[in-house]
Structure 1
Amino acid sequence: MKNLYLIAFFVSINVFSQELPNISLQNIEGKTISLKNDFKENDKIYIFSFWATWCGPCVNELDEMNDLQEEWKKNINVEIVAVATDDSRTQKRVKPLVKGKEWNYNVLLDTNQDFKRAMSIANVPYTIVVKNKKIVYIQNGYVPGGEKDLYEKLKTL
């Protein structure tokens, strides 16, 4: 049992000292965005929310964060980035969904799932919080009200 705790400890150290991978993705407008270069503002918190158009909990989470992000920005230097993991078959649904929902996020397309794979993400929704180029918090899954817990965590960073 002691060895299991040590393994969990070292895995968590490895994840939380990890930086964003050196990958470029396109946003829904077709502009190329570099994860290493475009998300590096000191003391700014970046929330990367991995989602897919076919994932109901993902859409619910992004709806809730969209409603709350202006309030969050009043108290925290934060930017939410929605990372669509839809493949080439379903990618065409991303832009209409984002426009229809009126989400005010930077939306990136991880069509080949390079970012998702680099972060060892198995399932969406999955949220990674980055500050000063380091991963400082991870949240796997979504339950209603989870965005309030996330906000409380953000305030401690």
Structure 2
Amino acid sequence: MHLIKLLRFWDDSYPIEKWFELVDSAATDLIKMNCYDEYAKVASSKGNHEEALKYSNLSVNWAKEHLNAPERTYREKCWYALSDEEIQNSRKRELAIFLVTQSEVLAKLDQKDKAYKACQLAIENSNLEDARLNDRIVELLISINRTDDAKDIAKIALSKGKASTNLKKVLGDEPDAGIDSIANDYLLSKEDYLKSLMKNNIAPNFDLYSLDGEKVSLEDLKGKVVVLDFWATWCAPCVMAFPYYKEVVEKYRDDENVVFYFINLDKDKEKEDISSFMESRKVDFNVLLDKENDSSKDFAVSGLPTKMIIDKNGYINFGESGFKSDKEEFIQELSLMIELAKNSESLK
């Protein structure tokens, strides 16, 4: 959000009241509360803990009231495809984020019991489903001398596949922590889950041209696992996924049996525009151009970004729209999909 970015670069010589005027003119309460939460973090980082707590409390109290609000907000109504349960989970996550900030501020005020209570409530509402939030929770617990609790939370997060590299280090010095065992159990359960989602649909052919003018036909790629990413320059989540894809592409760079193609669907961009865009993002992908969007229609793409994983026999094994913001989960899941596609028995 622009208001939050603006706050991060706010010059202390300029009255902060001007920023709050912009915040108060924001369209929705949720935007305001996210801004208040960010301000609390910034204020606390500068030693203004009492001021930080004031605005953190505003965010937390609003989120608690909003948790059981019978009507969807304007933003939630835009998510028409989400069920009531999914909306409720989204509200709980918002509350958990605000509670973690509140906990951090309380800890800096040396109100450790209150910080721990708020942290427990954050855990309850987040269900430890957000790796970045889990990092903050574990760090907070360590700061208030709840090391055993921190390690317990780290293990649970790891078992859910929601543990970052930093969080794993919390358990790294324990010989009996069982990190590898927990991680392997998670991967096995994740693999079983993905197997249950595997499709066996014949992939429609396409003939598209790359940025270098080379014609690429899906038919000619049989014998290889093909990963397709449908994207556009105007799609923010598409571009956010690029650094994640970059790591997976690098991982399989020496595997001749796996290829990646990024199908651009911009209708009003020329080849030179797309080349410049990719250079500005510092990514070197195999981009295919489809200004007419014929391939997206043939593959029944309903939203961006959409990825398709096609096995060596030309069958779609996986198709998924949307973007997982958890980098480790994204890379792990896509890698598992590729490995499953490599061993697909679609023709047997």
TM-score normalised to the size of structure 2? 0.37
2:295 to 98, 105, 115: 115
Amino acid corresponding to residue 218 of structure 2 in structure 1? L
Higher helix share: 2
C-alpha separation between the residues in 1 aligned to 2:273 and 2:331? 25
Amino acid corresponding to residue 247 of structure 2 in structure 1? D
Farther off after superposition, 61-70 or 107-116: 61-70
Counterpart in the other structure of 1:102: 282
Counterpart in the other structure of 2:262: 82
**Contact 1:61 1:147 survives alignment (8 Å):** no
1:25 pairs with 2:208: yes
Amino acid corresponding to residue 134 of structure 1 in structure 2? Y
Distance 1:137-1:99 versus aligned 2 partners, 3 A rule:
same
Secondary structure (helix, strand or coil) at the match of 2:202 reads coil
Counterpart in the other structure of 2:305: 125
Identity of aligned residues (%): 21
User: What does the per-residue CA deviation read over 1:106-155, in whole Å, with 9 as the maximum and x for residues that have no partner?
Assistant: 11001100000111112110000011211111121111232321112222
Q: Which has the higher contact order (CA 8 A, sep 6+)?
A: 1
C-alpha separation between the residues in 1 aligned to 2:207 and 2:255? 30
Distance 1:69-1:29 versus aligned 2 partners, 3 A rule:
same
C-alpha separation between the residues in 1 aligned to 2:285 and 2:248? 12
Counterpart in the other structure of 2:101: none
Amino acid corresponding to residue 35 of structure 1 in structure 2? L
1:139 pairs with 2:323: no
In the alignment, structure 2 segments of 5+ residues that lack a partner are 1-196, 342-348
In the alignment, structure 1 segments of 5+ residues that lack a partner are 1-11
Secondary structure (helix, strand or coil) at the match of 1:121 reads coil
Distance 1:35-1:153 versus aligned 2 partners, 3 A rule:
closer
Distance 1:28-1:150 versus aligned 2 partners, 3 A rule:
same
- Alignment length (residue pairs): 140
Counterpart in the other structure of 1:152: 336
Which is greater in Rg? 2
Amino acid corresponding to residue 316 of structure 2 in structure 1? I
Secondary structure (helix, strand or coil) at the match of 1:26 reads strand
C-alpha separation between the residues in 1 aligned to 2:203 and 2:229? 16
C-alpha RMSD of matched pairs (Å):
2.3
C-alpha separation between the residues in 2 aligned to 1:119 and 1:96? 27
C-alpha separation between the residues in 2 aligned to 1:16 and 1:62? 27
Higher strand share: 1
Distance 1:130-1:99 versus aligned 2 partners, 3 A rule:
same
